[in-house]
Chain A
Amino acid sequence: MFEDVLAFAALPLAAAIVFTGIHTWFGLQVLRRNVVFADLALAQVSALGATMAVVAGHAVQSAAGYAYTLIFTAVGALLLTASRGLARSVRQEAFIGVLYVVATAATVLVVDRSPQGAEHVKKMLVGGILSVTGDELVKFIILYSIIGVIHWLLRRPLLAAAGHADTPMDVGKIAFWDLVFYLSFGVVVTSSVATAGVLLVFCFLIVPALVGSLFSSHIGVALVIGWIAGAVASAAGIFGSFLLDAPTGAVTVVTFAAVLVVAGGIRAFITAPAAERGRNRQRGLHVGGLVLCLVLGLSGAWVIIAPAGDHPILAMIETATGIGPDRFMTARERADYLEAAAIERRHKGEIDRLYDRERQSRWQGDELTPDDIRRIGSMQQTLTEMGRGERFVMDYLRTRGRERERWYVGLPLAAIGFVAAATIARRARRAR
């Protein structure tokens, strides 16, 4: 089992780190160019190419498939290069957004003609980094090394073109270096999106670059910090998905966000200059306290207004303190509540027992007759409905308990929450 876990985690982790390596570099440039969504647009245009290839009857991994994808990516790169020239009075991002939605819509229209279209579109979004193979990884490493070396050699003109309006560089040159940038970016994004999906690639690209930029404006330092942050987030995401037993791509996106939040916290509260740090800490305490007190106050008010509604915060407090609605039931109500819970558990057990019996009989012992199956089905259905009835009783009794609980718990909670929030707000204003 442990060996399997390692085997399933090692390749995806290696792939995530390789992706972070190249994407952080591109991300830093993307941030400088202010074209954050260019990767989505390029990825979607290349996905449109891949989809056209599939509909035309070629495999995505065939030579024809690559040709389709590369031609579309090149067209996308040209359009992005042109969009900088077009964007005189508006932000370039607007054109990039249009390119993205048009490419997405075109992909939907194209896949609509093929039966497995929906699956294909979903795969582009979520990807399958978990199932990356060793061969694919080697290909990525070779491809990204070549692009990385080229970019290292051309870093000065590329960064100059990415940089600021006051750089003395004529329009033709800027357009040329933009095209070089978007073409290589397109090749990278096309290959990574096919494996990791649009959501995760966006994280690889933007989050480490953002973290790096938080701590340094020097691109080399930012790159190294970004790499470290990306590697930590990837490892946390992939091992987190094992621990939580949840899909890898989605968990990794969340851990990237968490790393960004933590990095923001470190920047604001620990590494900032002393004066700024003190101010940030105070402000952080005020805002955090205010939000917490308001949530508690609102949650208390909500249980007073609607005791029968959903009370997630109150439920958390109840679980933590052990003071639940059952404390506020009459002895009779509590007995009924516990009995209903016990009966519901019994019904569930019985449903599972019937299910197991039917499952075993599919291949073991005597076959059940159709009438046996019908009888089991009708018993399962009846038990499910009866269980639902017990749950209704429990909900009803819990509401009765909450109706009393609101005066003992909800009212103090609301009072304390709102008074504390008001105090913090007054203090914060005075501090300013």
Chain B
Amino acid sequence: MLVLVCLLGLSLIVQPAAAGSMRVVATTSDLASLAQAVTGDLAQVETIIPPAADPEAFEPRPSDLAKLKDASAVIRVGLGYDHWLDKLLSMHGDAAVNRGGAGYVDASVGIPLLEVKGSSVDPANRDGHAHGLANPHYWLDPANAGIITGAIAEAGIRVAPQATAKIIANRDGFLSRLKADLAEWEQLLVAHRAARLIAYHNTWPYFARHFRLNIVDVIEIKEGVAPSPARLAKLAATIREQKIRVIVHEPFEPEEASQLLARRTGAVVVKLAPSVGSVPAASDYLALFGYNVGTLARALSAASN
């Protein structure tokens, strides 16, 4: 009996104290930031992929499986970008956060997708993403935040119906802050409409579409394979012919090829953050765009002078 009481007491200590609080797990820091904005203090949000790492080269570890234990909701990018999550979820076994469960959110549902290739793995695909159906970097169009937060809010309401009003209010608050900031960002980049850029990796089509930029070409065609010298020579010719002044680069990608092109052509390498936390200044979803838009606008203005 005494043992039983002790065990009970122990289990009370081990259990999280706040019974009403949810645990939400997102595969990327971007989705985690949006989930935090929607759930506010209702949930504790965790991220699986470390923010400064290359998400397309990520491999989960045992501690990530532990994160999924007792999670009330799981949010993923989908489109094959975080394909390893399927295996983790099937090992985890909780139906509520598996595909079709109340707490399962595939944030790509309903997004107007770019560069759609097919519905299953295509070994011959050419855009540098090893998996999937379309370009997966859709969170980089701020207009998609409405759709993503909508899906997160719905799941939150399914999991914790008593918090419906709070979740809706949180989301509305976030979207109105986003709207105000968005006007400012668009203003910053309006002068650079149709500006020509080279990107290291094909990360930016959604960003480019929203802010009306022209990404002429990408350096790395196959994920993880260094560009060949013939390709670099062709890119150098393109940069000169089209007077491209800026090469967009992600902080975790190898820098040699971009720097080499910059040295040969006089273009500048600008590091933009593809995800929340890729650079310290991109501390949340709004700051991510604040940083990217500000950095790019400064670089383009400096280049045009």
| Chain B residues with CB under 8 A of A238 | 229
* A381 and B119 contacting across the interface, CB-CB below 8 Å: yes
Q: Determine whether the beta carbon of A384 is less than 8 Å from that of B229.
A: no
Taking a contact as CB atoms under 8 Å apart, the answer to whether B116 and A4 are in contact is no
- Which residue of chain A lies nearest to B204 when distances are taken between CB atoms in the complex? A362
**Is B119 touching A385 in the complex (CB atoms < 8 A)?**
yes
A133 partner residues in chain B, CB cutoff 8 A? 263
CB within 8 Å of A: which B91-138 residues: 112-119, 122, 133-134
Asked if A362 and B229 make an inter-chain contact with CB atoms under 8 angstroms apart, the answer reads no
The answer to whether A146 has its CB under 8 Å from any CB of chain B is no
Check B264 against A4 for contact (C-beta < 8 Å): yes
**A380 in the interface, Cβ–Cβ < 8 Å?**
yes
Q: Interface with A: B7-15, B33-41, B47-55, B156-164, which one?
A: B47-55
Report whether A377 and B228 are in contact in the complex, using a CB–CB cutoff of 8 Å.
no
Question: Which of B215, B224, B256 lies in contact with A130, CB distance below 8 A?
Answer: B256
What are the residues of chain B within 8 A of A123 when measuring CB–CB?
Answer: 254
Query: Would you call A248 an interface residue if the criterion is a C-beta within 8 Å of the partner chain's C-beta atoms?
Result: yes
B57 touches A4 (CB 8 A): no
Binds B, one of A239-247, A328-336, A418-426: A239-247
Q: Is B205 an interface residue (CB 8 A)?
A: yes
Write the A241-274 contact mask toward B (1 if CB under 8 angstroms, else 0): 1111111110000000000000000000000000
Residues of B close to A317: CB separation below 8 A: none
B114 touches A243 (CB 8 A): no
Give the interface segment out of B70-78, B174-182, B233-241.
Answer: B233-241
Residue of A nearest to B134 (CB): A377
Known A4-B236, A7-B264: A380·B116 in contact at CB below 8 Å:
yes
- Which A-chain residue is minimally distant from B236 (CB atoms)? A4
Residues of B within 8 A of A122 (CB): 224
Question: Count the B residues whose beta carbon is within 8 Å of the partner chain — how many?
Answer: 49
Chain A, interface SS category: helix
Minimum distance in angstroms from B148 CB to a CB of chain A:
13
Asked if B113 and A118 make an inter-chain contact with CB atoms under 8 angstroms apart, the answer reads no
Selecting from A20-28, A49-57, A79-87, A365-373, the interface stretch reads: A365-373
**Do A119 and B254 contact each other (CB < 8 Å), given the known contacts A9-B229, A242-B230, A384-B119?**
yes
- CB–CB A5/B252 < 8 A: no
Q: Does A358 contact B (CB under 8 A)?
A: yes
A116 within 8 A of B: yes
Other-chain contact of B116, A12, A128, A377 (Cβ < 8 Å): A377
B170 at the interface (CB under 8 A from A): no
Complex Cα–Cα for A118 and B58 (A): 9
A374 at the interface (CB under 8 A from B): yes
CB pair B194 A5 closer than 8 Å: no
A242→B229 contact, CB < 8 A: yes
Q: Are B264 and A373 in contact (CB under 8 A)?
A: no
Q: Mark A5-23, 1 if CB is under 8 A from B, else 0.
A: 1011100100000000000
Q: How far is the CB of B116 from chain A (nearest CB, A)?
A: 4
**Which residues from B are CB-within-8-Å of A246?**
228
B228 touching A381 by the CB < 8 A rule? no
A residues 347-373 touching B (CB-CB < 8 Å):
355, 358-359, 361-364, 367, 370-371, 373
A131 CB-CB contact with B under 8 Å: yes
Q: Does A126 interact with chain B (Cβ within 8 Å)?
A: yes
B224 — nearest CB in chain A belongs to which residue? Answer: A122
- Asked if A309 is an interface residue, CB under 8 A from chain B, the answer is no
A115 at the interface (CB under 8 A from B): yes
Write out the residue numbers on chain A whose beta carbons fall within 8 Å of the beta carbon of B229.
5, 8-9, 12, 130, 238, 241-242, 248
B299 beta carbon closer than 8 Å to chain A? no
Contacting residues, chain B, for A367 (C-beta < 8 A): 209, 212
Bound-complex Cα distance A358 to B256 (A): 31
For chain A residues 374-400, which have a beta carbon within 8 Å of chain B? 374, 376-378, 380-381, 384-385, 388
A55-86 vs B, CB cutoff 8 Å, 1 = contact: the mask equals: 00000000000000000000000000000000
State in angstroms the CA–CA spacing of A227 and B237 once bound together.
Answer: 34
Q: In the complex the two chains form, is A377's CB within 8 Å of B114's CB? A: yes
Q: Report how far A3 CA is from B193 CA in the complex, Å.
A: 32
Contacts of B232 in A (CB 8 A): 4, 8, 130
Which chain B positions have C-beta within 8 A of A7?
264
CA distance A289 to B158 in the complex (A): 71
Counting CB contacts under 8 A, is B213 at the interface?
yes
CB neighbours of A363 from chain B (8 A): 193-194, 208, 212-214
Please tell me if B283 contacts chain A, counting CB pairs below 8 Å.
no
CB-defined contacts of B233 to chain A, threshold 8 Å:
1, 4-5, 8, 242
Q: In whole angstroms, how far apart are the Cα atoms of A5 and B237 in the complex?
A: 10
A361 contacts which chain B residues (CB < 8 A)? 209
Chain B residues with Cβ below 8 Å from A130 are 226, 229, 232, 256-257, 260
- Asked whether any CB of chain A lies closer than 8 Å to the CB of B2, the reply is no
Contact of A115 among B52, B122, B214, B234 (CB under 8 A): B52
- Cβ A241 vs Cβ B228 within 8 A: yes
A171 to B225, CA, bound (A): 48
Complex: A122 Cα to B227 Cα, angstroms: 15
Chain B residues within 8 Å of A12, by CB: 229
Asked whether B69 is an interface residue with its Cβ less than 8 Å from the other chain, the reply is: no
> Which chain B residues border A118 with CB–CB below 8 Å?
53-54, 57
- A358: chain B residues at CB < 8 Å are 114-115
Q: Kindly list chain A residues whose C-beta atoms are within 8 Å of the C-beta of B252.
A: 115-116, 119
| Cα of A24 to Cα of B97 in the assembled complex, Å | 59
B44 CB–A CB distance under 8 Å? no
- From residue A415, how far is it (CB to closest CB) to chain B in Å? 35
Residue of B nearest to A123 (CB): B254
Q: Is residue B243 within 8 Å, beta carbon to beta carbon, of the partner chain?
A: no
For B83, the chain A residues whose CB sits under 8 A away are: none
15 sample A-B contacts, Cβ–Cβ < 8 Å, listed by A number: A4-B264, A5-B229, A9-B229, A116-B53, A118-B57, A128-B257, A130-B260, A131-B257, A238-B229, A243-B230, A247-B227, A359-B205, A367-B209, A380-B117, A384-B116
Closest 5 CB pairs of A and B: A131-B256, A384-B118, A373-B112, A115-B52, A377-B116
**Residues of A that sit less than 8 Å from B by CB:** 1, 4-5, 7-9, 12, 115-119, 122-123, 126, 128, 130-131, 133, 238, 241-249, 355, 358-359, 361-364, 367, 370-371, 373-374, 376-378, 380-381, 384-385, 388
With A115-B50, A130-B257, A242-B228 already in contact, 14 other A-B pairs whose C-beta atoms are closer than 8 Å: A1-B237, A4-B232, A8-B260, A115-B51, A122-B224, A128-B257, A130-B232, A130-B260, A244-B228, A245-B230, A364-B214, A370-B143, A377-B134, A384-B122
